[in-house]
Structure 1
């Protein structure tokens, strides 16, 4: 028996045509209409997520308010900046994972701060003109082989540059010229075989340099500028050739051990840790696998060692008072080759000048003959370096075993002798040096390191200004790590509020800082605020919180902390990073923050409040909870909007934790007062706190409170903010479910007032508002006992609901009609259309159909005949005809002639312009 396969059934011709029509319509939809729009909470900008949509062109109909556009993982082969000109607020653009072959710089994007072009097919560096505000440029994992000299010169504000995973083999010496504020440079996983000597010379702000995974065998002597400290250097996974040509790198790593890092990529997370031994020899064979810092080949100065770049020597220094300029400390220009007298404010001491080489043993006169003062004037930065090295050498002459005791005796409140002061400085110097230097100085004996580190930390915490000059290196000293970890919260708070004081406008900030250093005759840092931030970062690094440092840096937190206007935001990111710290540390911090809020120093209050609010996210913190709530309550009446917002955010953080929200019950009246605020963000925070409080009240109290809250929130149903509309409508639904039998009658009054607004927001363009309106309307119908409407709501039969609503409330039809007139002016097309339809239905239910009402309605509908939305104008014309037939009462301005004129354009008559001209003429009665 032969089986015959059935013929495939083809859809009938009309069905095929309908299917083709749907495909055509779908293809006509602009890609921007399917992008997900949301608020980026970190950047505080509207974000359009258009990833994984298969786009081959840039969307052209996004909202002009978009600040961040994500176009990754699409099929964009070529993009020009002209495609984004209609987005004037654009600050972030992600074009990664597109197979992009070209990026054209057309018209400028003046506000763009972040441009991600990673994981594409770019064969050369694209032109980068017209991006004056760019801070972060991602070019990782492309096919870029060469970079031209001064390739990034137009990007003067660039702070982060990612060139990882390209095919770079060589770099011109001035490749990065013009990038004076660049902080993070990633050159890892390329094919670099050599590095030019002056590559880093002009990168004065560089903090992180990634050279891992290249083909580097050596680096030129002097590659790392000697007067600079690099906190994060990655040198692993290179084929280092360990001979005398690498002796420079070996010595440099030994002296900069705290800044050498290793990064390990894992499936779950990336591990970053301090590991100087991660830099390993690849050749010769007998050194293969040996850490570079451990290869011990002895190199003669004249023979084997690379002497192609001679080390500069300092000029002979006359031993007279030296004027050190704050402005010139950041200079990196080389010293003049000839001996030049140093400017002085007093007569030089005769026969005391000496030549001081930059490296090696320093020869100098005793401190009594060297009366060096530090006042603002001009001097070369190498003078600062030489004075530091002289002080370090003097430490060798101090008796061992006495420094710790002398340091304690030098605390505030005790008289300091000259010898004691010098010994304090010696301890600071030895702590600040690398381990090899500390051991060679003879100051730090084994077994006494912990004691002396503790004394140093105590000196700083108790206000000794002598120790502040070398905080960063001291925190990173291996001998001090245990003490740094033990005193981390105290040190962190001290450094944070020191920084807060510095960023204040003068004279509170910088002048105060300078005064401290001048009074103690200490070296003034190149930039006091940046120096304070560096101390804080060094503390976190010494305590083992490297991942937190990187997280803050990626979000721009360190830069924010250095700005008076954005300082509080940077403090918030710092506190957010510390939410994972041990609970003991966070509890101590909260204790200290409460003390700051009690104090009279107003300059610290904002930073303390921001930090406290972030820590309140932690569920495991319950320390002094009642006082925390009391402090936040007092801030609700603060004159500053930001402080009130922060107080509400702190209360919200507590309200989200069921075991803590009970402490907020008594604040309900004050929270309702916050609904009178003009700022919508403050109102939104207050609404969210109120919602959490109501859910934890007892039934009786919750029912009574629901009546109070319902009265306050009804006006926000029609707010311009979709967020407030959603919050209030959904909260109103919760109130209806909370109300008890004895309060239902009172609540029905508020429900009837809300019906029209709820009905129109069924058509809200915001899907969250629309969905919450459906849910709340269903709950309202249940409370009113309108069982016949509930099935219609479940099936979302909008206009049957409207007819049923009007039929049940014929006596209120007039009120409903008046309430609906407000929605004629709604900026949302669906709501205007619904308002016109509602007017037509409601007008038929009005018992008092007089001429005045007809005239008013006709006037309103006539205005809608010119609406930009064709569906609205068409519906307005049809409604005019319905009113004419239903009321059967012609009124002035609403005659058959007027109706005929209104309908003519929809019957193939007048054009839009002719209709507008005719409507300006009087209509015959």
Structure 2
């Protein structure tokens, strides 16, 4: 009876409204007639029937209610959402949704106020059915006022509370709305400044980066949307676009601090007190979590597994290891996400020209790792990736240049069957990279040498012959670099060149071997095990070209990678073979050793004077005439005053070998 009286009252009110609108007393309105016919459904207790009845009542109201009364009615109905009677709160929610479905487009200016009331109501609603209906209200409102709804939701403080997270997730309930919402948010993300830079003082070079609030909010909003299972269908359509946007966002978040307090005009006075971000919130972690959520929603379970097992997500958050985490992600995507790679590469490529170093580092690392996998060749991406990375060789960032060199070298692995097509550009890039001046940690030099070795391993003789000697000359200065890794890499490259040394340039290359032999032999007793292994490899590689079977056999026997070498005995025996097989080179080798008497490394000075002593000690009276003995002896005597006892001992031993000369 109460329900029937309520509908009758509503009918009377709407009739009065028609009279105010100027209709005649006998005017018949179809909607009001339909309202009268709902009496029978009001007596039923069936939930579905009551739902349909309330929905029809809402449609009648939506059609008849004047625009200036719509918002008043809505806000009164919002009060009913918290009614303790289940049927009342449910009826209120059904009518609200019906009104918004029909008339929601006209509420544009009132969207923030509506959302604020709904956010408050969600905190007190205990009935799941009503709660779901309220979240549907948000979804319906967004489907008609997308920009206004998203802009309003982005004014709420971080981290989002449970109710706000649910409101964001409600946008994923409809596939079309989910897709439009994600497109809207990613467009915002790509368009806005990711951080502000503040110099600590005019005299200091250190710059602190503070995240701007809007992109941070957008990132968290995307994370919430992607966490909703209903977003899967929209994600399947937008995956490359979302992936490239979020990966770029991660790149511009690394090492970025939380934003300072938001401007006073950004949020309402009521909400300003809540707007101070908690210190536990991490800018980069928010971005990584959004990317991780995308990977999960995109059903890339194998990518997730690899990233989790190898710690890729955590590596991405740390500035020093960020590019390593990105490389792991690229490797995982090349194996298990190949269907998306062409579109992802296309969308990421413009970010190599980004004004933000972090984004350029991220994309260079991603592209560089892709080039080491055959799938990029299969997808015809090699040329695109190479042409994208080549301009980065002059980037202002050392890390970007290093990653670009690494990527170009990786092309020899991923596109080995097509390497001849790119060999000229790749070799030029590697040689130029070795001469990098602004490279204090030798990162670029090391990558250039590593890449050069990879490229050389895939090329035929005719591709390398024209520049063989040039490469040999360029590599020699690195034999004496302070960094162990650089020396080892340089010796390894020289060893790899030996594969091309038996052709037209053999005579010239053999001269390069003789010029480098003293350095190779001295570093065979280097303090670095890595350098020792590199020298063993190179000496074994170049020996067949020297034309001495004795020396070649000696190197094959004693210079096995893991074998223990008795250095003194080895050098003594080698000196005898050198004297026997290369008599015209004796003075050349002795003077080469003398040049190392001023080495900064005591072990190399000791090795050099020992080698000199064995060479001189094994010469006959006739052979010694070709040596500048007085100069050499004077240099050895100077080493008797060396500051390192082991060097003085070896100098004395060398002089003792000369007593018969």
TM-score by length of 2: 0.62
Contact 1:825 1:832 in 2 (8 A): yes
Q: Distance in 2 between matches of 1:360 and 1:495?
A: 45
1:549-592 deviations in Å (ceiling 9; x for gaps): 57546666545555666655554454444343321122221111
1:174-233 deviations in Å (ceiling 9; x for gaps): xxxxxxxxxxxxxxxxxxxxxxxxxxxxxxxxxxxxxxxxxxxxxxxxxxxxxxxxxxxx
Q: Distance in 2 between matches of 1:767 and 1:654?
A: 29
Counterpart position of 1:853: 631
Answering whether residue 462 of structure 2 is matched by residue 700 of structure 1, we say yes
1:625-680 deviations in Å (ceiling 9; x for gaps): 22321221111122321111010111122111213433431222332122112543
Q: Distance in 1 between matches of 2:265 and 2:218?
A: 12
Counterpart position of 1:67: none
Answering whether residue 350 of structure 2 is matched by residue 595 of structure 1, we say yes
Q: Distance in 2 between matches of 1:701 and 1:785?
A: 25
Contact 1:392 1:430 in 2 (8 A): no
1:838 deviation in Å? 1.9
Q: Distance in 1 between matches of 2:182 and 2:549?
A: 73
1:780-819 deviations in Å (ceiling 9; x for gaps): 4432322343333334354222122134444443332222
Answering whether residue 229 of structure 2 is matched by residue 478 of structure 1, we say yes
Answering whether residue 574 of structure 2 is matched by residue 801 of structure 1, we say yes
Counterpart position of 1:110: none
Greater relative contact order: 1 or 2 (C-alpha under 8 angstroms, separation 6 or more)?
A: 2
Contact 2:575 2:611 in 1 (8 A): yes
Contact 2:402 2:444 in 1 (8 A): yes
Structure 2 unaligned segments of length 5 or more: list them. Answer: 1-78, 97-106, 190-213, 559-569
2:608 pairs with 831, 835, 844, which one?
Answer: 835
Please give the secondary structure, in 1, of the residue aligned with 2:374.
coil
Please give the secondary structure, in 1, of the residue aligned with 2:548.
coil
2:432 pairs with 669, 673, 678, which one?
Answer: 673
1:730 deviation in Å? 3.2
In the TM superposition, 1:372-391 aligns within 5 A as 386=120, 389=123
Answering whether residue 656 of structure 2 is matched by residue 881 of structure 1, we say yes
Counterpart position of 1:647: 404
1:814 pairs with 574, 581, 587, which one?
Answer: 587
Structure 1 unaligned segments of length 5 or more: list them. Answer: 1-353, 376-382, 888-925
Counterpart position of 1:580: 335
1:746-777 deviations in Å (ceiling 9; x for gaps): 22321221222233233345555445534544
Counterpart position of 1:538: 293
2:259 pairs with 507, 510, 530, which one?
Answer: 510
Q: Distance in 2 between matches of 1:561 and 1:477?
A: 24
1:620 deviation in Å? 0.8
Higher fraction of strand? 1
2:413 pairs with 634, 653, 656, which one?
Answer: 656
Q: Distance in 1 between matches of 2:435 and 2:505?
A: 25
Counterpart position of 2:385: 628
Counterpart position of 1:155: none
Contact 2:411 2:419 in 1 (8 A): yes
Contact 1:648 1:682 in 2 (8 A): yes
Answering whether residue 516 of structure 2 is matched by residue 754 of structure 1, we say yes
Counterpart position of 2:3: none
In the TM superposition, 1:159-558 aligns within 5 A as 386=120, 389=123, 403=139, 407=142, 409-410=144-145, 433=166, 449-463=174-188, 470-502=221-253, 510=259, 518=267, 526=278, 527=281, 529=283, 530-545=285-300, 548-549=303-304, 552=307, 557-558=312-313
Cα distance 1:540–1:701, how it changes in 2: closer, same or farther (>3 A)? Answer: closer
Structure showing greater radius of gyration is: 2
1:546 deviation in Å? 5.7
1:414-471 deviations in Å (ceiling 9; x for gaps): xx5x89979xx9xx99995499x97xxxx99xxx844444444344345498986644
Cα distance 1:728–1:516, how it changes in 2: closer, same or farther (>3 A)? Answer: farther
Cα distance 1:822–1:456, how it changes in 2: closer, same or farther (>3 A)? Answer: same
Contact 1:572 1:614 in 2 (8 A): yes
Answering whether residue 470 of structure 2 is matched by residue 715 of structure 1, we say no
- Root-mean-square deviation (CA, aligned residues, Å) is 5.1
Counterpart position of 1:309: none
Counterpart position of 1:191: none
Higher fraction of helix? 2
1:615 deviation in Å? 2.9
Cα distance 1:473–1:733, how it changes in 2: closer, same or farther (>3 A)? Answer: closer
1:823-847 deviations in Å (ceiling 9; x for gaps): 4466777655442332223345542
Cα distance 1:493–1:741, how it changes in 2: closer, same or farther (>3 A)? Answer: closer
Contact 1:407 1:459 in 2 (8 A): no
Please give the secondary structure, in 1, of the residue aligned with 2:417.
coil
Q: Distance in 1 between matches of 2:470 and 2:490?
A: 14
1:143-198 deviations in Å (ceiling 9; x for gaps): xxxxxxxxxxxxxxxxxxxxxxxxxxxxxxxxxxxxxxxxxxxxxxxxxxxxxxxx
Q: Distance in 2 between matches of 1:753 and 1:686?
A: 23
Q: Distance in 2 between matches of 1:804 and 1:385?
A: 89
Q: Distance in 2 between matches of 1:420 and 1:770?
A: 63
Q: Distance in 1 between matches of 2:470 and 2:517?
A: 19
Cα distance 1:847–1:384, how it changes in 2: closer, same or farther (>3 A)? Answer: farther
1:863 pairs with 616, 619, 641, which one?
Answer: 641
Cα distance 1:730–1:571, how it changes in 2: closer, same or farther (>3 A)? Answer: closer
Please give the secondary structure, in 1, of the residue aligned with 2:375.
coil
Q: Distance in 2 between matches of 1:517 and 1:839?
A: 78
